Amino acid sequence: MRRFLPLLCLALAIVSLPATSEAQRLRHRIAELFFFGDPLSGGSAGTHQHGTHTLPSSTIANSAAVGFLGSTMANAVANVPIGATTSGETFRFEGGVPYSTATSAGPIFAERGQTLGRGRILAGLNRSSFRFTTLRGRPLSDIQIALLHENVDYEGCDAENGGQDCSLLGVPAYENDLTRFALNLDLGVNVTTFYTTIGITDHIDFGVVIPMQQIDFVGSNFAQIEALGGAPASHFFGGTPTNPVLQATTNARGSAFGVGDVAARLKINAFSTENSAVALMADARFPTGDVDDMLGLGHFVLRSQAIISSRFGAFSPHLNTGFVYRAGEARNHALLATAGFDHLLGPRVTLALDVVGEFQVGGKLLDMGGPVTFEAPFRRIVNPSSIPDMRDDVINGSVGFKFAPTRSFMLVTNAMVPLNTGGMRASHTWTLGLEYAF
């Protein structure tokens, strides 16, 4: 147990680190891109100068657009892959006697069926760096969003008695006014992950993963009111109804640093021979990261996987399949599938190649909403967003190398690239890591 105490102390020290200050909440910084003042507070440059139909800051901050962007960013940051539970040489045990079952150093972000063995420990850290560039294939430098007017009623609005029919969107005329936003978003992420795996028995491994995340955000927003309700203007950023200001620009930036969602992993080897192995694995991720700073998801996540691996000389293929359960509302569960191989290129060099997939289960719970139809003064359809309406399935290609200068020490390098357009994605993710087995 004395060998485990330094690792435990390190984990407790990292988890106890404070998050960023209240004034630097990233979700609020994103919402600020939609703030152009608030006329309800008496300012002359409000979001919309239009009495009770104003969209004040609190309403905009909770709108579907801002919620969608914040949740999508947080999901993307939290899904940064972590290292495999086993690395380097592995063993099977017969009568308590260890027999080596691996020639290569193993995969990087996938799993193989073998376990470490009783009393063995794998400790490691890796650093992943990336910058998000697209959202469902749309460049983050060119995101278009339209905020529409609410459908309102007013005194004397009675179609049955010859009045206007206020159930139609576009009646009264000022309901046709809308605000278009052109967003330019820049989100960079660096994740340093500390992980350790301990061989509890010859067939059971237990591990802990602690991510430390640095997130930097810069954004700008150009807003244009389309005053389609006629003159004098009902909505404007400044000026007067007869001389309105219909354009505005705002900028926001922020950063956050702290602990992400901590994970605990349990792996059980169910079957093992000299050249093949089958295992089951559970990965529980706890909501330890600050939700307002997008350091965590704010809900419990459980990943369960079945693992099959084989060996044919220096070539070792593997297949991982599983399911992701996400607690909380508006969270899609997902199916997991990872397939690839690791290959011993030389006495101290292993190539690892994988295709890593996560496939959404059920309908889209995180959605911007579909097109809106205006019925008056003529029928027209307005799409509230340029973000494509599609599933957020994620498929990545991963290629990396493990260098083993000694039997216990490992240097890990890896590059990951997207193979589809679902979700918020980086054009590439670089990972550099160190592992030590003892």
CATH number at residue 55: 2.40.160.40
Q: Residue 107's closest CA among 83, 80, 140?
A: 83
Rounded Cα–Cα distance for residues 336 and 321 (Å): 5
CB atoms within 10 A of CB 308: 18
In terms of Cα–Cα distance, which of 252, 249, 190, 181 is closest to 26?
Answer: 252
Q: Can you tell me the distance from the alpha carbon of 117 to that of 310, in angstroms, rounded to the nearest whole number?
A: 18
The pLDDT assigned to 55 comes to 44
Three-state DSSP state, 374: strand
The tokens for 295 are 């350091």
**What is the predicted pLDDT for the residue at 302?**
95
Query: What is the CA angle 154-159-162, rounded to 5?
Result: 110
Tokens standing for residue 438: 């003892």
Q: Name which of 67-76, 147-156, 392-401 the model is least confident about.
A: 147-156
In which element (H, E) is residue 126 found? strand 121-135
Q: What is the DSSP string of 213-251?
A: EEEEEEEEEEEEEE-TT-SSPS--SEE-SSSEE-EEEEE
Residue 7 is given by DSSP the state H
pLDDT of residue 46: 38
User: What average pLDDT score do residues 336-360 get?
Assistant: 94
DSSP 9: H
3-state secondary structure of 153: coil
Query: What mean pLDDT is predicted for residues 293-320?
Result: 93
Of 12-16, 287-291, 371-375, the poorest mean pLDDT is in: 12-16
pLDDT band at 162 (very low <50, low <70, confident <90, very high): low
Whether the per-residue pLDDT at 41 is higher than 50: the answer is no
Angle at 53 between CA 47 and CA 58, to 5 degrees: 55
**Which amino acid is residue 70, in one-letter code?**
G
Number of domains into which the chain is organized: 1
DSSP letter for 120, please. Answer: -
User: Greater confidence, 240 or 182?
Assistant: 182
Residue 174 and residue 164 in contact, taking contact as beta carbons nearer than 8 Å:
no
- The C-alpha atoms of residue 209 and residue 414 are separated, in whole angstroms, by 19
φ, ψ of residue 164 to 5 degrees: the values are -80, 155
Query: Angle CA(226)–CA(177)–CA(138) in degrees, nearest 5?
Result: 60
* Mean pLDDT, residues 241-269 taken together: 91
Q: Tell me if 197 sits within 8 A of 116, measured CB to CB.
A: yes
Distance CA 85, CA 307 (A): 12
- Residue 229, pLDDT > 60, answer yes
Q: Residues with Cβ < 8 Å from 19, sequence gap 6 or more?
A: 256, 257, 258, 259, 290, 293, 295
Q: Which residue has the higher pLDDT, 42 or 227?
A: 227
Mean pLDDT of all residues belonging to the chain: 80
Tell me the pLDDT band of 273, cut-offs 50, 70 and 90: confident
Domain with 81, as residue range(s), is 5-437
State residue 18's pLDDT score.
45
Tell me which amino acid residue 109 is. Answer: F
Residue 29 confidence class, pLDDT cut points 50, 70, 90: confident
Give the residue, 209 or 176, on which the prediction is more confident: 209
- Separation CA 16–CA 25 (nearest Å): 19
Measured CA to CA, the distance from residue 300 to residue 322 in angstroms comes to 17
Q: Is residue 100 within a helix (H) or strand (E), and if so which, with residue range?
A: strand 97-100
Name the percent of the chain lying above pLDDT 70. Answer: 78
3-state SS assignment for residue 204? strand
Top-ranked range on mean pLDDT: pick from 172-176, 223-227, 293-297: 293-297
The pTM of the full predicted model, rounded to 2 decimals, is 0.82
- Of 16-30, 60-74, 364-378, 423-437, which range is least confident? 16-30
CB burial readout 66-98, b (16+ within 10 A) else e:
bbbbbbbbbbbbbbbbbbbbbbbbbbbbeeeee
